[in-house]
Amino acid sequence: MSETATGRAHDVVLRHIENSLRSGELKLGDRLPGERALAEQFGISRASVRDAIRSLEVLGVLRSATGSGPNSGTIVVSDPSSALGVALRMHVASHHLPVNDVVEARIMMETWSLEHAAAAPWTPDQLDDARRLLDAMDDDALPSQIFTLLDAQFHVALSALAGNVVVSTMMESLREAIRGYIDDAVTRRGGWDAAVHVLREHHRGIFEAVEARDGERSARLVREHIEWFYRQAL
- Which pLDDT belongs to residue 171? 87
- Phi, psi (deg, nearest 5) at residue 76: -75, 125
Superfamily of the domain at 81-233: GntR ligand-binding domain-like (1.20.120.530)
**Number of neighbours of residue 94 by Cβ within 10 angstroms:** 8
Q: Distance between CA 44 and CA 86 in Å, rounded?
A: 30
Same fold, 3-76 and 81-233: no
Q: Where are the domains of the chain?
A: 3-76, 81-233
- Which pLDDT belongs to residue 221? 98
User: pTM surpassing 0.75?
Assistant: yes
Q: Which residues contact 203 (CB under 8 A, 6 or more apart)?
A: 134, 137, 151, 154, 225
Per-residue pLDDT of the chain (234 residues; tens, 9 = 90+): 444 455 577 788 889 988 998 999 999 889 998 889 999 998 888 888 988 898 888 888 888 877 666 667 888 887 777 778 888 888 888 888 888 898 899 999 999 999 999 999 999 899 999 999 999 999 999 998 899 889 999 999 999 999 999 998 888 888 878 877 788 877 777 778 888 999 999 999 999 999 999 999 999 999 999 999 888 776
- Which pLDDT belongs to residue 73? 83
Three-class DSSP category at 52: helix
- Which pLDDT belongs to residue 91? 83
Q: Distance between CA 185 and CA 182 in Å, rounded?
A: 5
Q: Which residues contact 201 (CB under 8 A, 6 or more apart)?
A: none
Q: Would you identify the CATH topology of the domain 3-76?
A: Arc Repressor Mutant, subunit A (1.10.10)
Chain-centroid distance of CA 35 in Å reads: 29
Q: Distance between CA 96 and CA 57 in Å, rounded?
A: 24
- Which pLDDT belongs to residue 3? 43
Whether the CB-CB separation of 103 and 226 falls below 8 Å is answered with: yes
- Which pLDDT belongs to residue 162? 96
